[in-house]
Amino acid sequence: MPETFDQSIERENTCSVKYDARKAVFGREDVIPLWVADMDFPAPEAVTRALQERARHPVYGYTLFPESLYQSVIDWFERRHGWSPERDWIMMAPGVVPSLHATALAFAGDGEGVIIQPPVYPPFFSAIRKTGRTVIENPLERLDGRYQMNLEHLEACAARDDAKVLLLCSPHNPVGRVWTEDELRAVLAIARQHNLVVLSDEIHCDLTYPDKPAHHMLARLAEERDALITAVAPTKTFNMPGLGLSALVVRDAKRRQALKEVFDSLHMNQCHPFSIAGFEAGYRHGDEWLDRLMSYLRSNRDFVIDYIRRELPAIRVTEPEGTYLLWLDCRAMDMSDAELKQFFVQRARVGMNPGITFGEPGSGFMRMNIGCSRRVLEAALEQIRQAMETNQ
């Protein structure tokens, strides 16, 4: 039912970062917001019903994680990804970004190195720097408009004496790559050889397009001895990131304990009852909704890419294999990063994420969120087209 995703939902004045922070972020409130990675679509009805049912009980006290919550994780990944994590491997966490920080703290010492692959989600950088660790960059390579890992350089990074952790983004935000089985096996082999702990951020694992390669859970390819942490959550999948609950799947008990000690030291082991209700409802009842979502996002993706190639020749874009994010190559516009942001905000009145915030390899790029109705995308693209015409 595409009308589920075509409808317009008023999000202003709901404390929405995407809408209500436009003035603070862009300096004006009238930009079309295609930036922060949440969607404008209503969550599955099952999620809303679960939240309403829990709200009917008028006491919202300290809350335990029920066994049914863990089972919902196991069932979802068996059903959707052919991966069967065991109950004892799963620990709940207050979000994927806190898990990046916890991993850096638990497995790298002060000043030691954590490898990332820019251009990459900005908290990958901040999780390292804010914990007093050292960023080691293994930049992705862009060949014929498509990104790939530089595995030879990754091995050189891993061979450094101070390298302790690799933060892997799979599928990759912002470039939209779904890594192949061969690429992932190569990453595991390098990590194994150099005793790296790998945190695989797979929060976008469900958001892969039906006409593109399937996502491979890194843990499904790993050996028992591999030092692997898998971060997952239903929050991106079912558009409920404000609920803020995630799961870490860690096979080794000592590594689970190391992470637990970090979370305990910060008193970050609590969760509110609505997070639990929404989390479990999504994983138990969200299959059909997700399939319809990916069909709608595929249509949006194809529409935007076709429009850009026809009407905006100064921008180049490659079809993403996963996520609802498009990585726009604007280098042919011959602007600095500051000028590029100024052009889209002040001239086109479209708010996107500047590529430079994803690391130096993102200079000259912009990230566009297509998780919205077609009408919103049509308006944004038309405003960009008109701005480019008047800018010539």
Question: How far, in Å, CA of 108 to CA of 100, rounded?
Answer: 12
- Residues 110, 173, single domain; the answer is yes
What confidence category does residue 392 fall into, taking pLDDT thresholds of 50, 70 and 90?
Answer: low
For residue 238, being part of any structural domain is answered with yes
CB 202 within 8 Å of CB 232:
yes
Phi and psi at 374, nearest 5°, equal -60, -35
Give the position of tokens 């509110």.
272
Q: Which of 264, 285, 306 is the last residue of a domain?
A: 285
Which CATH number is 357's domain given?
A: 3.90.1150.10
Copy the structure tokens of residue 201.
Answer: 């951020």
Alpha-carbon 361 to chain mean position:
18
Which pTM does this prediction carry? 0.97
Phi and psi at 39, nearest 5°, equal -100, 165
For residue 266, being part of any structural domain is answered with yes
What pLDDT was estimated at residue 1? 45
CB 13 within 8 Å of CB 20:
yes
For residue 298, being part of any structural domain is answered with yes
Which CATH number is 140's domain given?
A: 3.40.640.10
- Residues 183, 311, single domain; the answer is no
CB 50 within 8 Å of CB 275:
no
The domain tally of the chain equals 2
CB 366 within 8 Å of CB 340:
yes
- Residues 334, 235, single domain; the answer is no
Task: Walk across the sheet containing 365-369 and list its strands.
Answer: 316-317, 325-329, 365-369, 353-354
Copy the structure tokens of residue 16.
Answer: 């929405």
CB 42 within 8 Å of CB 4:
yes
- Residues 207, 318, single domain; the answer is no
Phi and psi at 309, nearest 5°, equal -65, -30
- Residues 70, 185, single domain; the answer is yes
Question: How far, in Å, CA of 49 to CA of 29, rounded?
Answer: 33
Question: How far, in Å, CA of 103 to CA of 198, rounded?
Answer: 9
What confidence category does residue 269 fall into, taking pLDDT thresholds of 50, 70 and 90?
Answer: confident
- Residues 120, 131, single domain; the answer is yes
- Residues 186, 221, single domain; the answer is yes
CB 119 within 8 Å of CB 161:
no
Q: Angle CA(158)–CA(162)–CA(167) in degrees, nearest 5?
A: 55
For residue 51, being part of any structural domain is answered with no
Residue 217 has pLDDT above 80, yes or no: yes
**Could you list the residue range(s) of the whole structural domain that residue 37 is in?**
3-44+287-387
Question: How far, in Å, CA of 308 to CA of 295, rounded?
Answer: 20
For residue 53, being part of any structural domain is answered with no
The 10s digit of each residue's pLDDT in 151-169 is 999 999 999 999 999 999 9
Kindly state the average pLDDT of the residues 258-280: 92
Give the position of tokens 């637990």.
260
> How far apart, in Å, are the Cα atoms of 309 and each of 268, 360, 364?
46, 25, 18
For residue 215, being part of any structural domain is answered with yes
- Residues 75, 106, single domain; the answer is yes
Residue 391 has pLDDT above 80, yes or no: no
- Residues 303, 280, single domain; the answer is no
Q: Which of 231, 253, 285 is the last residue of a domain?
A: 285
CB 170 within 8 Å of CB 201:
yes
What confidence category does residue 318 fall into, taking pLDDT thresholds of 50, 70 and 90?
Answer: confident
Copy the structure tokens of residue 342.
Answer: 């100024």
Residue 3 has pLDDT above 90, yes or no: no
- Residues 215, 346, single domain; the answer is no
Phi and psi at 114, nearest 5°, equal -125, 125
The 10s digit of each residue's pLDDT in 325-367 is 999 999 999 999 999 999 999 999 999 999 999 999 999 999 9
For residue 55, being part of any structural domain is answered with no
For residue 307, being part of any structural domain is answered with yes
Q: Determine the residue type at 296.
A: Y
Kindly state the average pLDDT of the residues 11-23: 96
The 10s digit of each residue's pLDDT in 88-134 is 999 999 999 999 999 999 999 999 999 999 999 999 999 999 999 99
3-state secondary structure 123-181: HHHHHHHCCCCEEEECCCEEECCEEECCHHHHHHHHCCCCEEEEEEECCCCCCCCCCCH
Q: Which of 252, 285, 318 is the last residue of a domain?
A: 285
- Residues 210, 79, single domain; the answer is yes
CB 169 within 8 Å of CB 207:
no
Quick one: the chain helix, strand, coil %, rounded to 5?
45, 15, 40
- Residues 37, 64, single domain; the answer is no
